């Protein structure tokens, strides 16, 4: 996911993303299209070229979901683990 | 919201008043004892959650009529200190066996005292999931109140 990691640092054009990557520009474009289709990346036109950026709403939504999910689940785990620790370690 | 924000891992630390071996045991072989019952993707109502206790082991749910539905794989099995499990369920709530499309969570069990364990949890690489956008947002809106209610009931019963 080198492309995604590059975009984490800021919006970039396809040419800027492809720079120093061991893949072709068209491969980068294809990958960007997939990321865009699944809602992880958004693009806008500026000065005759497409500028790509992370779609913060899509990705943050996924992350937020798991943040809350695990917070509650780990509390349930803690309760289960503290129920009878001595019985198991005897 | 800052549109350039990076996607950091989800991290949580909790302290469990139990020996490290026991904490590891409950998290893994005992996963069914604490997993929220409504967090299931199978076609049948959930009967049990299983984590096979070895590297490469399956993590899956079994329905009341025996149908199994995979969730992920045990990537690192180092009892009683460390565990890494892949999360192969994307935004469409379907199992995808391709690890390139899976996020993963790591759990570290650190002994603070003979009967106290610090559990450090990290879920990372969310960007690997396809279909993250609208499906997940819908799930958050519809699913979360239900989960909170279930947690309240569990906490009370304990």
Q: Are strands B116-124 and B103-113 parallel, antiparallel or unpaired?
A: antiparallel
Per-residue pLDDT tens listing for chain B (158 residues): 332 234 678 899 999 999 999 999 999 999 999 998 877 887 888 999 999 999 999 999 999 999 999 999 999 999 999 999 999 887 667 788 988 888 899 999 999 999 999 999 998 887 777 544 445 445 444 443 443 344 334 334 44
Q: Where are the domains of chain B?
A: 10-157
Do A73 and A41 belong together in one domain? no
Residue A89 in domain = no
Contact assignment for B132 to A62 by CB distance below 8 Å: yes
For residue B10, list chain A residues with Cβ-Cβ distance below 8 A.
63, 66-67, 70
Chain B interface, mutation test: which of A65, A84, A88, most B Cβ atoms within 10 Å? A65
Do A51 and A63 belong together in one domain? no
**Cα–Cα distance for residue pair B62/B141, rounded to 1 Å:** 26
The ipTM is 0.75
Q: Would you give the DSSP letter of residue B67?
A: -
For residue B91, list chain A residues with Cβ-Cβ distance below 8 A.
38, 62
**Cα–Cα distance for residue pair A5/A17, rounded to 1 Å:** 10
Do A51 and A66 belong together in one domain? no
Expressed as residue numbers, the domain containing A40 is: 2-55
Q: Write the CB contacts of B114 (distance below 8 Å, at least 6 apart in sequence).
A: B19
pLDDT in tens, A1-54: 567 777 777 889 998 888 878 888 888 888 787 777 666 678 888 888 889 887
B123 phi, psi to nearest 5 deg:
-110, 120
Q: CB atoms < 10 A from the CB of A9, how many?
A: 10
Do A30 and A64 belong together in one domain? no
**Cα–Cα distance for residue pair A75/A79, rounded to 1 Å:** 6
Interface of A with B in 54-83 (CB under 8 A): 54-83
**pTM > 0.80:** no
Phi-psi region of A69 (alpha: psi -120 to 50; beta: other; left: phi over 0): alpha
Do A42 and A65 belong together in one domain? no
Do A10 and A39 belong together in one domain? yes
- Could you tell me which of B2, B5, B11 has the C-alpha nearest to residue B121? B11
Domain count, chain A: 2
Do A42 and A61 belong together in one domain? no
**Cα–Cα distance for residue pair A19/A26, rounded to 1 Å:** 12
Interface of A with B in 4-43 (CB under 8 A): 4, 8-11, 34, 38-40, 42
CATH of B10-157, one of 3.30.530.20, 3.30.465.10, 3.20.190.10, 3.20.20.100: 3.30.530.20
The answer to whether A49 touches A25, Cβ cutoff 8 Å, is no
- Could you tell me which of A68, A67, A8, A9 has the C-alpha nearest to residue A35? A8
Side-chain half-sphere exposure of B73, counting CA atoms within 13 A:
10
């Amino acid at each position: 996911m080198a492309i995604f990691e590059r975009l984490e640092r800021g919006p970039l054009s396809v040419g800027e993303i492809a720079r120093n990557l061991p893949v072709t520009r068209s491969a980068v474009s294809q990958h960007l299209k997939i990321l865009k289709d699944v809602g992880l990346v958004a693009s806008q036109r500026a000065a005759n070229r497409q500028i790509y950026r992370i779609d913060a709403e899509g990705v943050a939504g996924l992350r937020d979901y798991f943040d809350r999910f695990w917070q509650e689940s780990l509390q349930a785990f803690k309760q289960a683990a503290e129920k009878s620790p001595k019985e198991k370690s005897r | 919201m800052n549109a350039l924000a990076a996607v950091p891992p989800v991290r949580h630390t909790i302290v469990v008043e139990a020996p490290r071996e026991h904490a590891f045991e409950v998290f893994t072989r005992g996963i069914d004892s604490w997993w929220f019952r409504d967090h299931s993707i199978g076609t049948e109502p959930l009967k049990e959650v299983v984590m096979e206790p070895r590297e490469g082991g399956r993590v899956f749910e079994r329905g009341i009529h025996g149908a199994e539905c995979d969730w992920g794989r045990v990537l690192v099995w180092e009892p009683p200190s460390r565990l890494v499990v892949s999360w192969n369920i994307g935004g469409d709530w379907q199992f995808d066996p391709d690890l390139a499309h899976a996020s993963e969570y790591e759990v570290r069990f650190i002994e603070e005292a003979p009967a106290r364990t610090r559990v450090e949890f990290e879920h990372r690489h969310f960007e690997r999931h396809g279909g993250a956008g609208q499906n997940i947002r819908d799930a958050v809106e519809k699913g979360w109140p239900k989960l909170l209610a279930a947690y309240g009931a569990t906490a009370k019963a304990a």
